[in-house]
């Protein structure tokens, strides 16, 4: 708390509220953490995805491939560019894009591929990147739930041409409000995003493109610098909680535990199990004093907003089945073992009815 108050004082004294030196410092720190050349602070994870696609030239008439098992923002960013989201079903073990289904979704209109590192586990990137290379299609990682996650030793966001992060307060690295970032090694992409996030300005009051106001606030950057220093420790705490959950849930009939692929370091933004009769189990858990979540009850392709795509139920069977069964158990770094125990006891009772 004293550190936070001191950070607020510094930002206030410098009047560095929008953009400015605290944002530049956080960008340098986050780029170093992700082992990329550049990080660009923006207003949210949605901005990060949208501006990355815009900077890559995605526009009306284009298609962008992603997974339907994600938060709405992944597809929204595609639509905001005027492009059409095209979905590929997920793998039943990791709940991320199934690379075996990707190639069939590529058309002459495909301009980008967005794998989503859902729940804190990275998608199977090597085959996705290989397909991207073969078709000359850039891969943009939605790493909004995967700060610090790893795939074969490589950090989330650093494998594609751009990696997009959300610092929404509930994330593994959360701000005190809305914030996001794009990481990239590409100088051209960096300068385009820098311009687009700031009204298309190439220099003060010189506008080379129509952009938007998607700058990061100085206060958010100062908070994020402080919290970044603790990210690895809090991810480790989440991983320890996941191990305890896994142990306690072992052998409970009807419970599918999350699966960590051998080549992944999962950071458990969400610890999602799968159960039958999920909605009743959720209600009983709540009555027993344990609040759980559902991520996400309706897959993106079945949301009313995407009704115009005309995608019928049954089109992505793994995503649709999982959406009926997912139950997110409490997960945050400060959880205590006795709380995890209580969650598991309540779950056992809730499963019995
Ligand atoms: C997978 C995914 N993509 C994109 C976003 C959008 O991020 P934000 O809420 O910061 O705009 C989120 C945030 O919840 C997310 O979980």
Mean per-residue pLDDT over the chain, rounded: 97
Confidence of residue 118 (pLDDT cuts 50, 70, 90): very high
φ, ψ dihedrals at 29, nearest 5°: -70, -40
| CB 123 within 8 Å of CB 116 | yes
| CB 342 within 8 Å of CB 290 | yes
Distance 254 CA to ligand 1 centre (A): 30
Distance 165 CA to ligand 1 centre (A): 8
| CB 138 within 8 Å of CB 56 | yes
DSSP 67: -
Distance 239 CA to ligand 1 centre (A): 21
Confidence of residue 51 (pLDDT cuts 50, 70, 90): very high
Provide the percentage of residues in the chain whose pLDDT is more than 90: 99
| CB 235 within 8 Å of CB 39 | no
Q: For residue 49, which atom of ligand 1 is closest to its CA?
A: 4
| CB 164 within 8 Å of CB 157 | yes
Q: If we measure between CA atoms, which residue out of 171, 137, 155 comes closest to residue 56?
A: 137
Confidence of residue 39 (pLDDT cuts 50, 70, 90): very high
When pLDDT is averaged across residues 168-185 and rounded to a whole number, the result is 98
Q: If we measure between CA atoms, which residue out of 186, 157, 159 comes closest to residue 173?
A: 157
Place of tokens 């305890």: 244
Confidence of residue 1 (pLDDT cuts 50, 70, 90): confident
Q: Tell me, what's the pLDDT at 319?
A: 98
Element (H, E) at 162: strand 162-166
- The Cα 338–Cα 291 span in angstroms is 16
Tens digits of residue pLDDT in 303-345: 999 999 999 999 999 999 999 999 999 999 999 999 999 999 9
Tens digits of residue pLDDT in 271-288: 999 999 999 999 999 999
| CB 316 within 8 Å of CB 299 | yes
Half-sphere exposure of 103 (CA within 13 A, CB side): 8
299-322: string of b/e by CB count within 10 Å (b at 16+)?
bbbbeeebeebebeeebbebbbeb
- The angle formed by the CA atoms of residues 174, 175 and 176, to the nearest 5 degrees, is 130
- The Cα 242–Cα 201 span in angstroms is 45
Confidence of residue 300 (pLDDT cuts 50, 70, 90): very high
Q: Tell me, what's the pLDDT at 209?
A: 94
Confidence of residue 353 (pLDDT cuts 50, 70, 90): confident
Distance 199 CA to ligand 1 centre (A): 22
Q: If we measure between CA atoms, which residue out of 171, 160, 157, 108 comes closest to residue 138?
A: 160
User: Is 306 close to ligand 1, i.e. is its CB under 6 Å away?
Assistant: no
Residue 174 pLDDT more than 90? yes
Q: Tell me, what's the pLDDT at 4?
A: 93
Best mutation site among 47, 73, 173 for ligand 1, i.e. most ligand atoms within 8 A of its Cβ?
73
Residue 318 to residues 85, 87, 107: CA-CA distances in angstroms? 18, 12, 23
DSSP 99: G
User: Is 175 close to ligand 1, i.e. is its CB under 6 Å away?
Assistant: no
When pLDDT is averaged across residues 5-33 and rounded to a whole number, the result is 96
User: Is 141 close to ligand 1, i.e. is its CB under 6 Å away?
Assistant: no
User: If DSSP codes are grouped into helix, strand and coil, which group holds residue 231?
Assistant: helix
Q: For 36-83, where are the E strands, in sequence order?
A: 38-42, 63-66
User: Is 132 close to ligand 1, i.e. is its CB under 6 Å away?
Assistant: no
Distance 74 CA to ligand 1 centre (A): 7
| CB 132 within 8 Å of CB 151 | no
Best mutation site among 143, 145, 172 for ligand 1, i.e. most ligand atoms within 8 A of its Cβ?
145
Residue 290 pLDDT more than 90? yes
DSSP 116: B
User: If DSSP codes are grouped into helix, strand and coil, which group holds residue 308?
Assistant: helix
Best mutation site among 68, 166, 272 for ligand 1, i.e. most ligand atoms within 8 A of its Cβ?
166
- The Cα 17–Cα 14 span in angstroms is 8
Burial of 136 by CB count in 10 Å (0-12 exposed, 13-18 middle, 19+ buried)? exposed
User: Is 116 close to ligand 1, i.e. is its CB under 6 Å away?
Assistant: yes
- The Cα 305–Cα 296 span in angstroms is 15
| CB 57 within 8 Å of CB 161 | no
Tens digits of residue pLDDT in 78-109: 999 999 999 999 999 999 999 999 999 999 99
Closest residue by CA, ligand 1 atom 8: 45
User: Is 155 close to ligand 1, i.e. is its CB under 6 Å away?
Assistant: no
């Amino acid at each position: 708390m004293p550190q936070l108050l001191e950070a607020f004082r510094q930002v206030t004294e410098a009047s560095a509220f929008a953009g400015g030196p605290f944002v530049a410092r956080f960008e340098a720190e986050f780029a170093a953490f992700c082992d990329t050349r550049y990080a660009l602070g923006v207003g949210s994870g949605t901005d990060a995805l949208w501006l990355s696609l815009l900077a890559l030239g995605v526009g009306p008439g284009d298609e962008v491939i992603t997974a339907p098992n994600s938060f709405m923002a992944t597809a929204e960013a595609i639509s905001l560019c005027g492009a059409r989201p095209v979905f590929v079903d997920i793998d039943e073990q990791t709940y991320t894009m199934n690379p075996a289904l990707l190639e069939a979704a590529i058309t002459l209109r495909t301009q980008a591929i967005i794998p989503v590192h859902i729940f804190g586990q990275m998608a199977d990137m090597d085959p996705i990147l290989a397909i991207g290379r073969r078709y000359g299609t850039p891969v943009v990682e939605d790493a909004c739930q995967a700060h610090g996650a790893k795939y074969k030793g490589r950090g989330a966001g650093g494998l594609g041409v751009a990696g997009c992060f959300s610092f929404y307060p509930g994330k593994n690295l959360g701000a005190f409000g809305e914030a996001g970032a794009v990481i990239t090694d590409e100088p051209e992409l960096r300068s385009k995003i820098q311009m687009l996030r700031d009204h298309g300005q190439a220099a003060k009051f010189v506008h080379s493109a129509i952009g938007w106001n998607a700058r990061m606030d100085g206060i958010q950057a100062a908070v994020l610098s402080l919290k970044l220093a603790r990210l690895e420790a809090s991810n480790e705490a989440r991983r320890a909680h996941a191990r305890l959950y896994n142990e306690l849930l072992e052998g409970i009939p009807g419970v599918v535990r999350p699966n960590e692929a051998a080549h992944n370091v999962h950071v458990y933004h969400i610890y999602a199990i799968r159960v039958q009769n999920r909605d009743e189990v959720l209600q009983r858990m709540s009555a027993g004093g344990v609040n759980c979540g559902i991520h996400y009850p309706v897959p993106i392709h079945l949301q009313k907003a995407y009704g115009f795509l005309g995608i019928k139920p049954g089109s992505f069977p793994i995503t649709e089945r999982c959406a009926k069964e997912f139950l997110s158990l409490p997960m945050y770094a400060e959880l205590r073992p006795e709380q995890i125990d209580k969650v598991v006891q309540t779950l056992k009772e809730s499963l019995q009815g």
